[in-house]
Amino acid sequence: MPPIPIIAPTIVRHAMYHSVPGGRSAVCIIDISVDQFVGSRATSVNNVVPKVMVSWQEKVVKYMSNDFSFTGCRYLDLDSTDGTGGFSPPVVGHPVNSGGSTAQAPPNVCMLVHKQCGHNRAQRNGRMFLPGAAENEVANDGTLTTVARTAWTGNVEAFRADVASGVFFPPATTSWRVVHVAGHTGSPLPGYPNGKPNAWSSSDISSVSVDTKVATQRRRLRK
């Protein structure tokens, strides 16, 4: 049975790629709702992507340890089965890392970003594994320092606020969202008692916070 494509109305999925020491990539998935727009949707999507990237580079990437590097964005419009997509390299003139000399935390260490949004009890807020912590930001017990946690929460919140503020119009009004499963096929399959997901909805992210404890991603350790 072929996979059921995700059709999430208004959503453009941005996969933000970052190089990790050891030859692997750290990917952050960011779902942006492209709502009111000027001209065609495809043109507006293509014009929104670099604006999202500039904000990500300036508000988040700029503070990542120098051993990490933002390498670009792979995007796909989930609004329909034939939504536009592609890959964009980093926007020239904007940071790809901090440019500093502070030693990095181990490649598998990442910060856990919690997303808060309006949803019902059957839905999750969502989370994101953010790379780029410096060694001096992580204590021996695996906690972020208070200063680092506050700063990183502020960095990611500044990105969220950019997306929600209306500064991307034109070409479109936008918001950062969490995509939820809203329906299933009803035909039970192994691992899918209610059938595979076949409908999706989304909720605006109203705020973000970085967890006190760092997380780990083992696949970031090796090729």
d(CA 84, CA 24): 27
Residue 207 located in a structural domain:
yes
pLDDT of amino acid 52: 97
Q: What local confidence, expressed as pLDDT, does residue 190 receive?
A: 86
In a domain? residue 2: no
Cβ atoms of residues 130 and 156 within 8 Å: yes
Residue 117 is predicted with a pLDDT of 84
In which element (H, E) is residue 75 found?
strand 69-77
Note the pLDDT of residue 189.
85
Q: Kindly report the pTM of this predicted structure.
A: 0.91
Q: Do the domain assignments include residue 3?
A: no
**Is 1 within a domain?**
no
pLDDT, tens digit, for every residue of 190-215? 888 888 888 888 999 999 999 999 98
Q: Are 216 and 69 in contact (CB under 8 A)?
A: no
Distance CA 100, CA 136 (A): 13
Looking at the domain assignment, is residue 129 inside a domain?
Answer: yes
Is 66 among the domain residues?
A: yes
The answer to the question of residue 188 being in a domain is yes
Q: What is the three-class DSSP state of 162?
A: helix
- Give CA 51 to chain center in angstroms: 14
Pairing of strands 215-216, 109-117: antiparallel
Contact assessment for residue 41 and residue 34, using Cβ atoms and an 8 Å cutoff: yes
* pLDDT number for residue 223: 52
8-state DSSP, 128: E
What total of structural domains would you count in the chain?
1
In order along its 223 residues, the chain shows pLDDT tens digits of 566 788 999 999 999 999 988 778 899 999 999 998 878 999 999 999 999 999 999 999 999 988 889 999 999 999 999 999 999 999 999 999 998 878 888 888 899 999 998 765 555 678 999 998 989 999 989 999 999 999 999 999 999 999 999 888 888 899 999 998 888 888 888 888 888 888 888 999 999 999 999 988 765 555 5
Per the structure, the complete domain to which residue 56 belongs is given by 11-220
CB-CB contact of 81 with 198 (8 Å): no
User: Is the link from the previous residue into 89 a cis peptide, with omega within 30 of 0?
Assistant: no
Question: How many of the other CB atoms lie within 10 Å of CB of 123?
Answer: 17
Q: Which helix (H) or strand (E) holds 154?
A: helix 146-164
pLDDT of residue 181: 85
